[in-house]
Structure 1
Amino acid sequence: MGSPRLIKKYPNRRLYDTHASAYITLVDVKQLVLDGIELSVIDAKTNEDLTRSILLQIILEEESGGIPMFSTPVLTQIIRFYGNALQGVMGSYLEKNIQTFTEVQARMTEQSKHMYGSQFGPEAWTQFMQVQAPVLQSVMNSYIDQSKNLFVQMQDQMQDQTRQMFSVFPFTPPSGKDDKKD
């Protein structure tokens, strides 16, 4: 795979696709992403990487119209992770889960092609997925429960390791009572 497709953002807020030698819109950038084309958006004046900013702008537009993917409680929780000690862990966790979901989806698509041949087009796939949505939701819930259990086990192991590591120091942990003297 070659280098990402370069999109330059000019001060007038216009996006220029250097590959197509044409100005494009956010809708066009979204289509490039949907088509699986790796891209990079840079500020034409400063060379600052704006890719994440543009992708977030596309997500914001998608969330504002139609059926949003993220509920208010999910967005609230994501915001709460910023600045938290687990911010990096959460980002990695979400990335891995989305990657796993994408791989499962690709496998299901490939298997359906083998089962139903070429006549199983996009419309049929959409109908099939609508019928299978409750089953898929159940599978995903089971997967999330397993992930949660693994995360809790990891947290318990980290606590045990921390206790063992600090057990060599001659101090007792606070009792939780206010030890101030009057």
Structure 2
Amino acid sequence: MSEDQSPDSSAGASERVIKKYPNRRLYDTNTSTYITLAEVKQLVIDGEAVVVRDAKTGDDLTRSILLQIILDEEAGGAPMFSEAALANIIRFYGHAMQGYMGAYLEKNVQMFSEFQSRLAEQTKGLSPEKWAQLMQLNSPLMKTWMGSYAEQSQNAFAQMNEQMRRQTEQMLEAFGVKKR
């Protein structure tokens, strides 16, 4: 999904509109059927742009449904986030860095997804033995791929840091404090 096709953008022709009714049922307007949260999850996995709307008010509920899917996955036995990671994310809410943290995480998840896609494309048809060799972190190919991802992540962090520095300077100048 491209940046301009985020699931929380306003409904367009290519988005799958799901209506959520007060009885907590989800109605897929494309198929004219009720669907489960697991089916919404599968639509997201399949790369479909999904928007969830309150059937009565039309309010956008997409974020809350996506968060519910994540919550269900986290509770399901193989969590992606440690308690420490979740606590650190919570600490950024209301913090001056909240906007930066969200953008940084989004950029890193996007880069990791692109890395995963390139890896899948370049390794089509590998035998199980070759996969085992490849997945060793000390293999030259894995070092190259991981190095590229790490470099992109560092660049994203550096951009975020530079943006913060510029905004801090602007804020200080607004208060009459000049940089020496």
TM class by shorter chain equals: 0.7 to 0.9
Match of 1:77 among 76, 88, 91: 88
Q: Does structure 1 retain, via aligned residues, the 8 Å contact 2:17–2:51?
A: yes
The alignment partner of 2:123 has SS state of helix
Shift in CA distance, 54/98, structure 1 to aligned 2, threshold 3 Å: same
Calculate the aligned-residue CA RMSD, in Å. 3.6
Deviations 1:73-96 (A, max 9, x none): 110010010001111111111111
Shift of 1:111: 1.1
Deviation at 1:167, TM superposition (A): 3.2
Mapped contact 2:27–2:34 kept (Cα < 8 A): yes
* Structure of higher RCO (CA pairs closer than 8 Å, 6+ residues apart): 2
- Residue correspondence of structure 1 range 167-178 to structure 2 within 5 A: 167=178
- Number of aligned residue pairs: 160
Equivalent of residue 111 in structure 1, options 122, 128, 133: 122
Structure 1, unaligned stretches of length 5 or more?
A: 170-182
User: Given the superposition, is the C-alpha separation of residues 160 and 106 from structure 1 closer, same or farther in structure 2, using an over 3 Å criterion?
Assistant: same
Q: Which moved more, 1:153-162 or 1:45-54?
A: 153-162
1:30 is aligned to 41
C-alpha deviations, 1:95-127, integer Å up to 9, x for none?
1111111111111111113xx3xxx59xx5xx9
Q: Counterpart of 2:9?
A: none
- 1:4 CA displacement: 0.7
CA shift in 2, pair 1:149/1:60, >3 Å? closer
- Structure number with greater Rg is 1
State the match for 1:45 in structure 2: 56
Match of 2:79 in 1: 68
Structure 1 residue 19 and structure 2 residue 26: aligned? no
TM-superposition CA deviations, 1:26-60 (whole Å, max 9, x none) = 01101111111111000000101000000000000
Contact in 1 for aligned 2:19/2:54 (Cα 8 Å): yes
Point out the more displaced range, 56-65 or 127-136. 127-136
Shift of 1:146: 3.0
Unaligned runs of 5+ residues in structure 2 are: 6-12
Identity %: 50
- The answer as to 2:66 corresponding to 1:58 is no
TM-score by length of 2: 0.72
**Residue type of the partner of 2:48?**
I
Work out whether residues 16 and 50 of structure 2, in 8 Å CA contact, stay in contact via their aligned partners in 1: yes
Spell out the pairing of 1:148-167 with structure 2 (5 A cutoff): 150=158, 154=162, 157-158=165-166, 161=169, 165=173, 166-167=177-178
